[in-house]
Amino acid sequence: MKTPYKFLPLISPTYRTIRKVYQSFKYAGQEVNCPICDRNFSSWLRQQENGTCPSCDSKTRHRLLSLFLKKHSRIFDQPCRILHFAPDQCLRAKFQNRHNLEYTTADLSAPGVDVHTDLTNLIFDDNSFDAIFCSHVLEHIPNDRAAMSQMYRVLSPNGIAYIQVPYNRYEKTDEDPNVTDPVEREKRFGQFDHLRVYGVDLKERLESVGFQVKEEYYARQLDKSDRQRYGVWDDVIFCCTKLDRNNTTDI
């Protein structure tokens, strides 16, 4: 299992800071708003409709998750133990600044995280976390069912795993372990190190390890002007709950 984060050490903090200041001036304006760094800009980077934030590097999936959590989750309102696997810097900064969160970052090999561990064989005890964030990771993992099962195991009863993946809502999952050539993978699965594109059967796959799964299309709750302002599109967040039938407290 590999993640794109292996490239991050190549980008120095100093370069990132200079680039951030430059881009904040270049994209000065009020047309779009990043709900993660809470700043306004004339557009996203390279004028893309749902592109990258000039300041915090958030992409549409990060902003959608942030908006959804603000509206529908209680993780920011109460003490909460969070596991963030393969954390993106923009969300990581947001979580680390919240004093109510006991926040743990993990990755197989990326530098700078709290714990190095394999998502298919997590080192954490059962019931260790109230929420897990796992965005665009499962499509890199050969035994993705083991990863799902491990997330279920380390979640506490009533805990939720927020899972995002490249997703085709109109087809079944496309995967083939015989496709190993990076060029062929990029052509078929969208990136050189992706092993599949998930489809409509992902919900069943997550349910098969025990989760109760809700597919949340939060962008549909926003009007067109807000979708454009926040740079989000009609993507899905899989909210996977480890049910505890003796306790109805939601996270």
Judged by the rule CB under 5 A, the positions of this chain that interact with Zn ion are 34, 36-37, 53, 55-56, 58
Q: How far is CA 74 from CA 102, 155, 235, in A?
A: 14, 16, 21
Cβ–Cβ under 8 Å, residues 131 and 95? no
Closer of 58 and 150 to Zn ion (Cβ): 58
**Block residue for tokens 């195991």:** 153
Q: How far is the CB of 54 from Zn ion (least distance, A)?
A: 8
| Beta strands per DSSP E along the chain | 32-34, 39-41, 80-85, 101-107, 115-116, 129-135, 155-164, 174-175, 196-197, 212-216, 237-241
Question: Which is closer to Zn ion, CB of 35 or CB of 159?
Answer: 35
Residue 139, both tokens: 């499509």
Of 69 and 119, CB closest to Zn ion: 69
Specify the residue, 36 or 240, whose C-beta has the smaller distance to Zn ion: 36
CB nearer to Zn ion: give 34 or 122. 34
Min dist. Cβ of residue 217 to Zn ion (A): 22
Give me the phi and psi of 205, to 5 degrees please: -65, -45
For Zn ion, the closer of residues 58 and 60 by Cβ is: 58
To Zn ion, the closest distance from the beta carbon of 24 in angstroms equals 10
- The SS3 call for residue 32 is strand
| DSSP code string of 64-85 | HHHHHHHHH--TTTS-EEEEEE
